[in-house]
Each structure stands twice: as structure tokens, then as C-alpha cells.
A and B are shown apart, each in its own frame.
Chain A
């Protein structure tokens, strides 16, 4: 979408705008990005995991902590992606209308979106790297391949950020977002293989879980963290998530153009 050097520079000014805003708003984001995942890791992974392990559940040879930590990593990426892909778009179009100010300057819509997307990517990858480091420190991630887990989580987060940005671009009213979080994102979080193998789901529901980018993110992160990743399945998971990110981005830019340049 954005190729020429001057376009990259203009996209960069949008990224720097978001970074500047973050200096004022970072406090509100640390719960979702850092504290919640660590609380989950401790309560579900370590404490509940102790009980699960006593019952010797079949988790492919992993302890429950080793099983759940990569799932939490992917799920955290999803949450940051959905939050940061939706609210800034809603604010830019409707709440503070800053996107209307941006497109009155030389910055183009595709450059605006690219800048936002780069910012969301940065947010996800920083949170994912911290979570990975903590997981490695508590022994939840054992393989050296864990170093690639933040990138898998990044893809997972962007697979949600782009489609939700497209959705937010099309919405007139932010209250729809709350509904999407409650009825789409939360069930995905609970049922896409983060906390238990999806083979536990009823047979008819299992393919639904496979279709979600989160399941691919969880599975890829888990395979990397445990060192059992194989090239082709890993590329398949990555490609599936990348397809969501690319298609969502194209759609978002198309809708934003219609909204901003009427």
C-alpha cells in the first residue's frame, strides 16, 4: 500500500504521533498489556497448574504451566491487537476526529493506516517480548525457539488488529465494540485452546476453533516454546494469520477512504 520513501516517512510521522500520545496514556494500558497476563500466568499456570499436573492430564508431555503460558502469550497479543486496532480508529473518526485533521495534510489514508498498524505492532511485540522473558524465567518456556514466540504472537495480534480496525472504521457508534469484545473476543480467549486442548471441545465445535486466528497463534507459540515446531505447519499457521492481517488492512484502508474522503 505504501511504497515510496516519502510515504514511509509520512507513515512514520503517524507512528511518532501515537508514540507521543502514549506518553500521556501508558498508565491505562499496563493492566491489559503486562499485569493481567502475569496474573493469569501465576494463578492459572502455576497455582491451578499444580492441581492439573497431579491428575496427570494429557497435554502432549507438557506441564500445565508449559501448556498454558504460550496460550496466554497469544491471547494477550490478541487483546492488545483488538484494543489498539479499534479504539484509536473510533477516536480518530468520531470521538476527537483527529483522522479528519490528518487527511487535510499531505498524509494519505494508506499512510495513516500504515502508521497506526506499525504502532500496534510495536505495542504487541514489546508486551510479547516481556511476557516471553518472564515465562522463560519461571521455566514455562524451555526451548531456544521461544525467542521466536514474540513474532508468532505479533502475527496473532495483527490478525485481530486489522479486521477490528476495518470494523471500527465502518461503525457509527462505539458501543458496538463493547459487544464485539464480550461476544467474540472473550469466547475466543476462553475456547480457542489457550487453557485446554481444543480436542476437549465437542466434535462439531473443534473446526470452529481451528478457523480462528487465535488457535493458530496459540498453537504456533506453544510449538515454539516447547521446541516441537516443524517448518511447514509453522509456516501454515503464520500464513493463516498473515492472511487475516493483510485482508483486514486492505479492507480498513478502503473503508477509511470512504469515510474520510467523501
Chain B
């Protein structure tokens, strides 16, 4: 086990951010914390990263207690924080140099690794440029390179693609996927279900400080929702009446502010049933169920509000 947590708890004054969670991460896997903002994902990550003392429960990272052996744990971690914290005054290369020294690495070794890492994150041409004017996606990639400079046994990525445009997100996923193929253990938090589906072998769904479900993305979908979802949109908020008319159609109906979702094993049959009831939605969409639907079915709320 790389990480083992039992009853892990974090309180800030009266507020309980992480409420007695249990999980374990094994070497080589990509493990995710999926949940909306404020679910306690980042607080959990900070405790794993040995930068936040736990308020209760037990936690072992590499078999070590973060409260006792913080520096030894951090020596083997790569951390990509939610907010970039690169040194904007320095060049791309200098950021890696300075950071590598914090791990006690000799300069020639850092130079060697920096060359490989900058190739890996496609920033080799920017090596001697200042960081400040780089785009958000480039800064993120540099932060990932920085997190890899000590060849960590475990990489912690907190909301790795939040704030990036779709193209930069895909570029980043591709890099993370290659790391995963290379055998690096990744632990990430996200509130994007597509990110969790693309990258995670296994994940826990967090809500209000608790773990509400655990499994592979495929398991979770099979366990909590039907195979397909029919999405109905209505012109001008007439959906309230529609939901009553639709009772009994599909397996389960969720009413959201802007649409009605029907969970079903057979989308086409469900759409036919909707029309039989005389309901006239403005648009109809049949799609595959996602982790977003899993979250909705467990908590009754959406991941991004």
C-alpha cells in the first residue's frame, strides 16, 4: 500500500472538512477523488502531502506517519497544487533547478532531468524564458515537470486541469496518461467526471467530507445507474408539469433546474414512451450514463453548480 487512511478526519474549528474517510492506494494505480467544490478533496490531498496535520483517524503514506516523518514522505512525493505556485521571476529551467535543490539533488543531475522533463511536457523551446508570460496550460505543464524532478514514487495532482481551455486539458491528460503508462502512481482530485473517467483506475466519490461510493468508473456506473440517460429540455420552464406526466417512464427521473433526466436501460424505448404520454420537449438527447449521473443518483445534486 502506498497510502492507507482509516477514519481520517480534518476539522477547521467547528467545520469538519473531511469526516472519517477510509481508502487505500496501491502502487501503479491512478486513484481519484471525485466530488464538487468543498467536498473535502483538497483537504484530504494536503494531509496525504504531509502539509496539513490530521485532526483524527490514522494515515500512512509509504508506511510512514505524516505527523512524524513529513520530510521523508515529501522527499518521495510529486505535488501539483490546485493553484500554480511557480516562481514567475525565474526562467522555466531555473524553476526546475531551484526546486530540485530542495530535494537535495545535485545540479548536474537536475540539469539532466530538466532536459528530459522539458521534452516530456513540450517546453524544451521555452527553457530559458521567464515563466510569467507563459499561458495557463504551459504553466500547468511546467508545474507537472517540477513535480517530477525528484522522480517521485507518488504524484499528487489537485484539480490538475481546472481553469484550462479544452485543448490544454486534452494535452495535459495525454501527458498524465503517459506517466500512468510509465508506472507512476497518480492520485488526483477532480470535479470533472470526464477527467475521472479518462484517467482513474479506481476512484472514490466524495460529498460533504464523506466518501459516498467507491469503485472503478465502470463499476460505479453499473452499480448506481442504468446504462443510458434520456435528457429532455423544455422551452420556458414547463418541465414541472412534464415530470408528473412522465411518472413510471424509465427507471428513475431526476428533475434539474434546466432539464429532466430519465435513467434507463433502453433509450429509444424510453423516448417512444415519452412521446406516448403526450409530452413535447424542446429537445431530446440519448446518451451513455456517466459518473455525473452516479453522483446525481447518490446525492441528488450535480457536480458543478
- By a CB distance below 8 angstroms, the chain B residues around A16 are 98, 101
A123 within 8 A of B: no
A25 interface contact, C-beta 8 A: yes
Closest chain B residue to A92 by CB distance? B85
* Number of A residues, CB within 8 Å of B: 25
- Whether A104 contacts B49 by the Cβ 8 Å rule is yes
Interface size on B, residues (CB 8 A): 33
**Counting CB contacts under 8 A, is B99 at the interface?**
yes
Q: Is B103 an interface residue (CB 8 A)?
A: yes
Within 23-69 of A, Cβ neighbours of B (below 8 Å) are at: 24-25
When distances are taken between beta carbons in the complex, the residues of chain B under 8 Å from A100 are 51, 81, 83, 85
Q: Could you say which of B70-78, B180-188, B199-207, B270-278 contacts chain A?
A: B70-78
In the complex formed, the residue of B with least CB distance to A22 is B89
Q: Return the contact of B90 from the options A24, A103, A107, A261 (Cβ within 8 A).
A: A24
A133 touches B (CB below 8 Å): no
B228 to chain A, nearest CB (A): 43
| Complex contacts, B130 vs chain A, CB 8 Å | 24
Interface residues of B in 42-69 (CB under 8 A from A): 46, 49, 51-53
Q: Is A122 an interface residue (CB 8 A)?
A: no
Report the separation of the CA atoms of residues A16 and B86 in the bound assembly, to the nearest whole angstrom: 16
Asked if A108 is at the interface of the complex by the 8 Å CB criterion, the answer is: yes
Contact B86 A96 (CB under 8 A): yes
Interface positions of A from 133 to 157, Cβ below 8 Å from B: none
Which chain A residue shows the least CB distance to B94?
A20
**Cβ-based interface call for B15 (8 A):** no
Q: How far is the CB of B150 from chain A (nearest CB, A)?
A: 8
**Contact at A261–B81, with CB atoms within 8 Å?**
no
Q: Is A129 an interface residue (CB 8 A)?
A: no
Q: How far is the CA of A20 from the CA of B100 in the complex (A)?
A: 14
> How far is it, in angstroms, between the C-alpha of A261 and the C-alpha of B87 when the chains are bound?
20
Q: How far is the CA of A16 from the CA of B83 in the complex (A)?
A: 24
Contact with B along A1-16 (1 / 0, CB 8 A): 0000010011001001
Q: Is A210 an interface residue (CB 8 A)?
A: no
A104 partner, pick from B79, B88, B90, beta carbons under 8 A: B79
Please tell me if the beta carbons of A261 and B53 are within 8 angstroms of each other in the complex: yes
B151 CB to nearest chain A CB (Å): 14
Q: Given the complex, which residues of B lie within 8 Å of A262, measured CB to CB?
A: 12, 46, 52
Are A101 and B74 interface neighbours, CB within 8 A? no
How far is A107 from B77 in the complex, measured between Cα atoms in Å? 13
Among B49, B71, B98, B103, the residue within 8 A (CB) of A108 is: B71
Please name 10 pairs of A and B residues whose Cβ atoms are closer than 8 Å in the assembled complex, sorted by A.
Answer: A10-B104, A20-B90, A24-B90, A100-B51, A101-B81, A105-B74, A105-B150, A106-B71, A261-B53, A262-B12
Interface residues of B (CB under 8 A from A): 12, 46, 49, 51-53, 70-72, 74-75, 77, 79, 81, 83-90, 94, 97-99, 101-104, 130, 146, 150
